[in-house]
């Protein structure tokens, strides 16, 4: 009895703490902490001084690594400054990432104390885009950079709709309760576009009302994205019909490409 209770307590324990840090105009950097080893990782720390300042709330923790989602300046632009100051490794998806010391491939893992961080190659926005997925105890989280936003997705700068659908499908297949930590606060404008696409979607309406009140909307969840993100819903016939008139002949990637073009000029 006591043992089973102990096991239950243990299974609910999570070693993971995540703190968002607002940077630049609308970027999010994140601090990822492992409570067991007292190690910290910075995700896309574009303004190092702001992220280091936020880490001061956790004086027992030591910075161990940088995780970079992709090579764009507003995500990777703080890496060199930090690497000059700390003897740490910077992870990323290609040598285009400023300061990268270790290039990750799909499904590679990185260890931060008790936390196993899995790299998901998610091309489309850039060809070196990596999302970082972590599962610990009952807690699951994914850092999605500029691949997936709350109720939106990144522009297809380097990849095709086929690349992006592959990436979004990987994120769709994560457990529903996975928390989604995205790279920009675009939620209100994304939801206005989502509403333009799906006028009768109550979940979008409710989320827009909420987002207008709270300001900072990170994290989302995979379950919520399935309900409110038009780019995650292009595989649903009810949604694709709203985007392409003759959806019966269109592939899911045709629909995704058309939807992205609509958003680009919205």
**Catalytic annotation, residues:** 70, 72, 74-75, 125, 146, 184
Q: Stretches 4-12, 104-112, 142-150, 210-218: which one binds Zn ion (CB under 5 A)?
A: 142-150
Q: How far is the CB of 151 from Zn ion (least distance, A)?
A: 17
d(CA 8, CA 211): 35
CA dist 157 and 163 (Å) reads 11
* 47 part of the interface to Zn ion, by CB under 5 A: no
Q: For Zn ion, which is the closer residue by CB, 146 or 185?
A: 146
Which CB sits closer to Zn ion, 77 or 219?
77
Q: Phi/psi at 23 (nearest 5 deg)?
A: -130, 160
Shortest gap between Cβ of 125 and Zn ion (angstroms)?
Answer: 6
Nearer to Zn ion, 159 or 161 (CB): 159
The reply on whether position 98 binds Zn ion by CB under 5 A is no
**Do 77 and 48 form a contact (C-beta atoms < 8 A)?**
no
> Would you say 16 or 168 has its CB closer to Zn ion?
168
With 0-12 CB in 10 A as exposed, 13-18 as middle and 19+ as buried, what is 140? buried
Cβ atoms within 10 A of the Cβ of 216, count? Answer: 10
C-alpha distances out from residue 196 to 151, 190, 216, 263, Å? 13, 10, 22, 10
Show the DSSP H helices in the chain as ranges: 2-12, 48-55, 73-76, 79-85, 161-172, 187-197, 202-214, 222-228, 237-243, 252-264
Task: Give the shortest CB-72-to-Zn ion separation in angstroms.
Answer: 4
For Zn ion, the closer of residues 146 and 163 by Cβ is 146
| Residue list 54-73, contact with Zn ion (CB under 5 A) | 72
Of 128, 135, 139, 146, the residue at the interface with Zn ion (CB under 5 A) is: 146
With CB under 5 A, what is the number of residues at the site for Zn ion? 2
Residues of this chain that interact with Zn ion (CB under 5 A) are 72, 146
């Amino acid at each position: 009895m006591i043992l089973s209770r102990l096991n239950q307590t243990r299974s609910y324990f999570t070693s993971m703490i995540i703190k968002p840090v607002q940077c630049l105009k609308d970027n999010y950097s994140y601090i990822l902490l492992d409570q067991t080893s007292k190690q910290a990782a910075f995700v896309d720390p574009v303004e190092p001084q702001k992220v280091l300042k936020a880490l001061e709330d956790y004086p027992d923790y030591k910075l161990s690594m940088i995780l970079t989602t992709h090579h764009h300046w507003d995500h990777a632009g703080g890496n060199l400054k930090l690497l000059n100051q700390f003897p740490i490794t910077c992870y990323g998806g290609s040598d285009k990432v400023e300061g990268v010391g270790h290039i990750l491939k799909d499904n590679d893992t990185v260890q931060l104390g008790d936390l196993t961080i899995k790299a998901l190659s998610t091309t489309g926005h850039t060809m070196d885009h990596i999302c970082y997925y972590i599962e610990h105890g009952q807690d699951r989280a994914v850092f999605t950079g500029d691949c997936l936003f709350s109720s939106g997705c990144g522009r297809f700068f380097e990849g095709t709709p086929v690349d992006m659908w592959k990436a979004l499908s990987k994120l769709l297949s994560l457990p529903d309760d996975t928390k989604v930590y995205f790279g920009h606060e675009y939620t209100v404008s994304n939801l206005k576009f989502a509403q333009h696409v799906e006028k009768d979607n109550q979940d979008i309406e409710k989320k827009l009302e909420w987002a207008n009140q709270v300001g900072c909307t990170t994290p989302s969840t995979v379950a919520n994205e399935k309900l409110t993100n038009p780019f995650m819903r292009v595989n649903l016939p009810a949604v694709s019909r709203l985007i392409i008139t003759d959806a019966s002949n269109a592939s899911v990637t045709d629909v995704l490409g058309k939807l992205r073009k609509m958003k680009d000029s919205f």
